[in-house]
Amino acid sequence: MAAITERVAIAHAQERNYRGIWAWLATVDHKKIGIMYIYAALFFMAFGGAEALLVRIQLWQPNNHLVSAETFNQLFTMHGVTMIFLVAMPILIGYINAIVPLQIGARDVAFPRMNALSLWLFVLGGIFLYTSWFMGGAPDAGWFNYVPLSGAHYSPGAGVDFYDIGLQITGIGTLMTAINFLVTILNMRAPGMRLLRMPMFTWSALITMLLILFAFPPITVNLILQMMDRLFHATFFNIPLGGNALLWQNLFWIFGHPEVYIVILPAFGIISEIIPTFSRKPLFGYESMALALSVIAFLSFMVWTHHMFADGLGPIVNSIFAITSMLIAVPTGIKIFNWLATLWGGQIRFTTANLYALAFIPLFVIGGISGVMLAMAPADLQYNDSYFVVAHFHYVLFGGTLMGALAGLYYWFPKIWGRLLNEKLGRLNFWLVFIGFNVTFFPMHILGLEGMPRRISTYAPGYGWTTPNQIATVGAFILLAGMLVLLYNLISTFMKQPDLVQDPWDARSLEWSIPSPTPEYNFAQIPLVEDRDAYWVAKREGSGELPKAEPVGPIHMPSPSLSPFFLAVTIVIAGYAALLHADWLALIALLAAFWQIGLQLVHEDHGYHVHPDVPTGGATE
């Protein structure tokens, strides 16, 4: 014991204490950063959802003029941009932040300050995008923002500039998240946590980060090229001066298709945690699950042209990309069968988290099958740009990603916040969302086959489109009711005392072996991992205590810092200045940003030490 006291004595105290809101702005703790990601994603979800509701109300009846065609374009564009870039990705990155370091037995991420910078670039970039509504109009050329529609000629307002600059800002943050978590997962695993012992959610995070690493640079380049065109009159997409409109489509979908997997693979990971836990069985086909993730990631870079079948690139190109696209069904099918085999013979518990996970499987299969239908190039010419496509991607993005995200919310809520969400309200929430989702989006398949094009602000009577549209709008309000129940559940849970249950689900991975909410240093002693599902094995074959890989001692922590927040603010100022053609201010802000980056590159953080609370009996020296 003497040695410990001595080490604590020499450990110096935290350099600076931030309080209140400053503590949140300055935090470099991956758990707090994860919480802020989740809050911000839910906040933006309210806006994206409101936009969707306005779209559905506008389409309630033929020749409706609730909103103008111009506003309608802005609504569906911002709905798509919000849900993909400001909701789906951040909520999943939030879980990855809050959970992955715990699952691999680490005390933090590799670059804690860079992690804070990623968060602030996302939050401030998202707010930047939303201020477009008050500064001359939101982006209005669709979430994939095709040229020439998005060029200065057809979109003269500042909306598309907000898109170009806002997505660059959030994109840099996402790229840094990828670097951070690749290093964290590859280098910071606890002793014995080999790659093939990692929980499947961590595997999905690893593969997702690889996708981000190679998919975000092409979109960044694309956004830069369009920004050069719009702000500095370059001619990348100006056809009379030698430009090429297909360049935008190619670079966009080289990013865009992997992006689809960036938002679905972590959901696969969440489902792969929840189903074994609530079946009390190990994940069936663990190795094939990890391999399937890797194959999906590899193939996802070889399919982008299936978004461009209607461009007329020729039968050979279309055939190749049709085949590679259909190939993705093979690893995805492996995952579906493995989940079913995990459930087979298990002691299934129908908690809200598991209900969402179980709903995920059939809904994602429907989305997958309509995906294979769309991958058939000749048939695609029929579905192209119709509501069938809208139905397809909502079944994978809502039925897949969002169901997975909500499953994860109910599952990890007690770990992250130390409180269990109400299960009765949870069930009501689930059934309303499940029914509302299908009522909203299933009729869109029929609307698409009946010929209704996507993105039209209104339609004439007599096509048989009215009834399916009205069913869809009713469904959207059932969805709204479901989400309001979730909101009520969240608020009422935050009002009550924390339960502080460490392991409410009798779960399998390392995050459940430590108290809820987790102490700032995560593990008082880093565990020694000797099995896949090590915590489960420890509970079944021993005391529930994992063997420790290190003696008790003071723990080194990184210092909190406001510099990531200020750097993000500087970058956003540069964005506004460029957009308002205040070129000198933009230049000064960019130089200031690079100056701050340079200071970070030579910065030396000595951190501080804390002494962990070790439960009595654990502190053997």
Partner 1 sequence: MSAQSETTRIALEHETSQELGLPKDHRILGLWIFLAGECAFFASLIGAYLGLHTGVAHGPTGAQIFDLPLTTVATLILLSSSLTVVLGVAAMQRRDVRGMQIWLWLTALLGIFFLEFQGYEFYTFYHHGLTLQTSAFGSAFYTLTGFHGLHVAFGVFWILLLLFQSLKHGINEERTTKVFIMSLYWHFVDVVWVVIFTLVYLAGKVS
Q: What is the dihedral of CA 246, 251, 253, 256, to 10 degrees?
A: -150
Shortest approach of partner 1 to residue 449 CB, angstroms?
A: 36
Shortest approach of partner 1 to residue 77 CB, angstroms?
A: 24
Binding residue (CB under 8 A) for partner 1 from 82, 177, 238, 518: 238
Shortest approach of partner 1 to residue 241 CB, angstroms?
A: 4
314 binds partner 1 (CB under 8 A): no
| Token digits of residue 236 | 């990348």
Cα three-residue angle 342-413-280, rounded to 5 degrees: 20
| Token digits of residue 121 | 């670039």
Considering only residues 348 through 407, tell me which ones interact with partner 1, judged by CB under 8 A. none
Considering only residues 585 through 604, tell me which ones interact with partner 1, judged by CB under 8 A. 594, 598-599, 601-602, 604
Among candidate residues 556, 573, 550, 572, the one with its CA nearest the CA of residue 621 = 550
231 binds partner 1 (CB under 8 A): no
236 binds partner 1 (CB under 8 A): yes
Binding residue (CB under 8 A) for partner 1 from 178, 377, 480, 546: 178
* For partner 1, the closer CB: 100 or 402: 100
427 binds partner 1 (CB under 8 A): no
Binding residue (CB under 8 A) for partner 1 from 65, 233, 424, 540: 233
Question: DSSP states of 18-55 as a string?
Answer: --THHHHHH---HHHHHHHHHHHHHHHHHHHHHHHHHH
Binding residue (CB under 8 A) for partner 1 from 347, 497, 543, 620: 620
169 binds partner 1 (CB under 8 A): no
Cα three-residue angle 98-101-104, rounded to 5 degrees: 135
Cis peptide preceding 315, ω within 30 of 0 = no
Binding residue (CB under 8 A) for partner 1 from 14, 17, 68, 187: 187
Question: Beta strands 608-610 and 555-557: pairing type?
Answer: antiparallel
182 binds partner 1 (CB under 8 A): yes
Q: Segment near partner 1 (CB under 8 A), from 155-163, 184-192, 305-313, 401-409?
A: 184-192
Residue type, 458: T
Total count of residues recorded for the chain = 621
251 binds partner 1 (CB under 8 A): yes
| Token digits of residue 551 | 């003696």
Task: For residue 16, give Cα distances in angstroms to 219, 444, 560, 607.
Answer: 39, 56, 8, 10
Residues 6+ apart with CB under 8 A from 87: 41, 44, 45, 48
191 binds partner 1 (CB under 8 A): yes
Q: Segment near partner 1 (CB under 8 A), from 93-101, 240-248, 265-273, 392-400?
A: 240-248
Three-state SS letters, 545-595: CCCECCCCCCEEECCCCCHHHHHHHHHHHHHHHHHCCCHHHHHHHHHHHHH
Number of residues that bind partner 1 (CB under 8 A): 60
Binding residue (CB under 8 A) for partner 1 from 57, 67, 224, 373: 224
Summarize as ranges the residues that interact with partner 1 (CB under 8 A). Answer: 110-111, 175, 178-180, 182-183, 186-195, 213-218, 220-222, 224-225, 228-229, 232-236, 238, 240-244, 247, 251, 254, 526, 528, 547-551, 594, 598-599, 601-602, 604, 620-621
